[in-house]
Chain A
Amino acid sequence: MPSSSAGLAPVGRHPRAPERDGRRVRWRRIWDREAASAYRFLLVPLLLLALVKLYPFVYNFVLSVTRDSFGGDLGFVGLDNYRNTLSQQATVNALRNSIYLTALVVPLGTLLALFVALAANERTRFRAWIRLGFVLPMVTSVVVGSMVWGLILLPRGGLLNTALQTQGLNWLATPNLAMPAVAVVILWGAIGLNMLVFLAALQDIDTEVIDAAIVDGASYAQRIRYVVIPWIRPVLLFVVATLTITVFRSFGVIFVLTQGGPVQRTNTLVWEVYLNAFSYLRFNEAAAISGIMVSTILLLTTVYLRAIRRTEAS
């Protein structure tokens, strides 16, 4: 039901309707001329959204609880596909790796994006260059960026090994280094957008509050700690939530650089979905794994959203 804040129905102009006519009045409110015009504009996007988002989502769920996706005989099997995939070591490893990758990228990515936004918010000569430098990866293709990173990480002749004088160190083929290397590449691509989000939030802070803190003798660190962070906390949680989703969905970097190896160390849920669907043609298992992935993301997002609501309420 649209509210006045949504700008669709001018609530309050209608006379109060008797209880028995309540539903009719509500429909009228929805379908008056102004609202109908808005819905006509929304119709195409909503249909597209239903077709390319809702339908695949529902169909994925159907696949995950059925037996065969090829022959047209979709026999219901309950949660068997979920049980089967979770009983496989590869899926458990993938879940663990996805959480590990999230733990590597999300805190670091959030902090870095915040620091960069703080730097880009200062009136310095380099402000434009800082913004440009961190926004550029956003407009670079994931595949191209990953391929360039592959060259940087080459064991012999790679830029990183040359700089560190660690010739021969195979970052992507050494089990303990592969995931941190992947995390760095994902961070590189993800910081720009989050920096922009933080920057917008920082520019929304009332300057009088900052000025008051300065007059009170607060240091730069104290201003960040006691003024800026509380002010932008909802945005901070939004960034954490979206970054978590980004990390869980990261496919291109792993596809180009490691393909899940070495010894499954970079095998994440989304890679496991890809393998099952397109290499093994196990669409039902792939759907179950993606169901597990979506559930994990939903769980984490719910936690973040509750935290945001608590923050807003306080």
Chain B
Amino acid sequence: MGSQTQPLISRRRLLQVGGGLAAAGVLAACGRRSQDGEGGDDDAAGSTPEEPAEAPVANDGSRTELSLWIVDHDGEVRSRLEQDILPRFEEEHPQYRVSTRFSGWERYAEEVTTAFTGGVGPDVYQGGAVWVGQQVDRGWALPLTGYVADAAEWNWDDFTDGAREDVSVDGEIYAIPYRVAPRTLWYRSDILAEDGFTEPPTDWEQLREVANATVRRENGRIVREGFDTFLGGGPAWQGEMQTYWDFMHAAGGRFLSEDLSRCTLDEDPAVEALQFLVGLVLEDEVMPYPSFENQGELSALELGLTATGMMVELPDLRAREYAPDQAEFVRAAAPLRHAVQAAHIYVNKYFVSSGTKDPDGSWLLLQHLTSADNLETYSAASGYLSPRASQTTADYLTDNMRIVAEAGATGVPYPRHHNLLELFRPVSENLDRCFRGQLTASETLQRTVEEVNALL
């Protein structure tokens, strides 16, 4: 050691090595899988089933791998997919091997966003009720109209109107539905019978009558609700917006104008719907606000703590699984009628990635997953409702599920705006303020319209 010590590497050499490593790191981190050129947007959009695109080299040298991301896999779905649905696809199409990745809703959006941003998205992937606008706007979803038109036997017309509307943007089909969840009225037959009601309410006036008759108070506190604005899980203030959509659709209103350029919640039907709900919650006081929270998986309905509420098919599933002694009292009814009979509907769907290197193979897989047989298998295994109209009376459905499935015929899906989640924020927050008595119904909607329009 000391002054005579020679450096192990020269400064020049060090800078060269360091520079090389840094450049490699930056390139690796910044690199995106090409989404144009080979197998990219343009090629994919131009492909037809009769003109197969060049398939990528398979890992095992003979079969092309298709990646499939699944997020809706309650119940027996995973085993049905792994043991039945996907093996049959690989048998029928031996040139393909499906690599499936199962995820959960609590992290799925982040995973998909990160994957696409990094250029490593899956070939086929599931998406939620508000996904279409966003996926299309970002260019992540492959248009499927050409494929759908060529698949006569697969029968696109069998899908319900609401489901088909949900996946279409400007006349182009961007996804294929695999699950629908229409919202409808739920009630407790034992609580209604206690107060002399033998039939569930069918319109707003009857609902108000039932809710006022069935609410119970002790020492000035509500101990049983006549109506509950939120039968879901999670923070309570997020559920009121969903219930508001139900009433707004029944009043004939809508969230956004046809061309998605402005918010229409200040129009009469939208105002009328909120005034009705505010009347129930703040004037009649048929429920506390926020409403009774879930206990574990069970909402106030399955617990017998509310007489009525609006929800998708979940109360039936939850009661049968977690409170079987209550299941016979948990009943579904047709959507309430006001100006029209309509219900809000959630549609979950499969997308084909615009970045897939094998659009034809991806479509084949998607077609297989959404065939009538496989959708029935998938729905029966999960307890979900199939988007195919021919399956609204399938054998696996309970009586409640059939009523909910029929409600799907009146289902109104979300508008396909690309920033729907951001637009929901002022709606849910102002509704929250409204139900806390901080804003009137008119003020709420006026303020909401201004804030939403500022975002549009």
Contacts and interface: CB of A to CB of B under 8 A. Distances in A.
Nearest to B109: A278
B292 A263 contact: no
For A10, A25, A34, A281, which residue has the most chain B Cβ atoms within 10 angstroms? A281
Contacts of B32: 72
Contact of A55 (B7, B29, B236): B29
A36 interface: yes
A51 B236 CA distance: 41
For B2, B21, B221, B288, which residue has the most chain A Cβ atoms within 10 angstroms? B2
A170 B221 CA distance: 14
A279 B109 contact: yes
A36 B6 CA distance: 11
B1 A10 contact: yes
Given A28-B5, A34-B1, A69-B117, A168 B221 contact: yes
A264 interface: yes
A14 B3 contact: yes
Given A47-B25, A278-B109, A279-B109, A173 B3 contact: no
Nearest to A143: B106
B48 interface: no
A31 interface: yes
A258 B429 contact: no
B1 A173 contact: no
Contacts, number: 100
For A10, A72, A259, A279, which residue has the most chain B Cβ atoms within 10 angstroms? A279
A278 B113 contact: yes
A261 B7 contact: no
Given A50-B25, A55-B26, A261 B432 contact: yes
Contacts of B320: none
A28 B429 contact: no
Contacts of A277: 113
Interface stretch (A130-138, A152-160, A207-215): A152-160
A173 B109 CA distance: 26
Given A27-B7, A279-B421, A51 B237 contact: no
Given A170-B293, A278-B113, A28 B25 contact: no
A175 B435 CA distance: 13
Given A36-B8, A55-B29, A280 B293 contact: no
A83 interface: no
Interface in A229-252: none
B329 to A, nearest CB: 20
Contacts of A264: 429
Nearest to A157: B295
B62 interface: no
Contacts of B11: 27, 31
For A32, A34, A175, which residue has the most chain B Cβ atoms within 10 angstroms? A32
B235 A13 contact: no
A178 to B, nearest CB: 10
For A33, A55, A154, A173, which residue has the most chain B Cβ atoms within 10 angstroms? A173
Interface in B213-246: 221, 234-238
Interface string B95-109: 000000000000001
Contacts of A280: 419, 421-422
Given A263-B436, A264-B429, A31 B7 contact: yes
A51 B3 CA distance: 35
A173 B29 contact: no
B238 A261 contact: yes
A55 B24 CA distance: 13
Contact of A170 (B1, B113, B290): B290
Nearest to A257: B235
Interface string A40-78: 000000010011000100000000000001101000000
Contact of B235 (A15, A28, A172): A172
Contacts of B22: 50
A173 B22 CA distance: 49
B25 A70 contact: no
B110 interface: yes
A32 B429 contact: no
Contact of A263 (B9, B293, B419, B429): B429
A262 interface: yes
A87 to B, nearest CB: 11
Contacts of A156: 292-293, 295
A89 B129 CA distance: 28
Contacts of A27: 7, 11
Interface in A141-190: 154-157, 168, 170, 172-173, 175
B133 to A, nearest CB: 11
Contacts of A157: 295
Nearest to A50: B25
B128 to A, nearest CB: 12
29 contacts: A14-B2, A14-B3, A25-B3, A31-B9, A31-B14, A33-B8, A36-B9, A47-B21, A51-B29, A55-B29, A69-B117, A70-B138, A72-B32, A154-B293, A156-B293, A168-B288, A170-B290, A170-B293, A173-B236, A258-B235, A262-B237, A262-B290, A262-B432, A263-B237, A275-B425, A279-B422, A280-B419, A282-B422, A283-B117
Interface of B: 1-3, 5-9, 11, 14, 21-22, 25-26, 29, 32, 109-110, 113, 117, 134, 138-139, 221, 234-238, 288, 290, 292-293, 295, 419, 421-422, 425, 429, 432-433, 436
Given A55-B26, A156-B292, 13 more contacts: A10-B1, A28-B7, A32-B1, A32-B2, A33-B6, A33-B8, A70-B138, A157-B295, A172-B235, A259-B234, A259-B238, A261-B235, A279-B109
Interface of A: 10, 13-15, 25, 27-28, 31-34, 36, 47, 50-51, 55, 69-70, 72, 90, 154-157, 168, 170, 172-173, 175, 258-259, 261-264, 275, 277-283
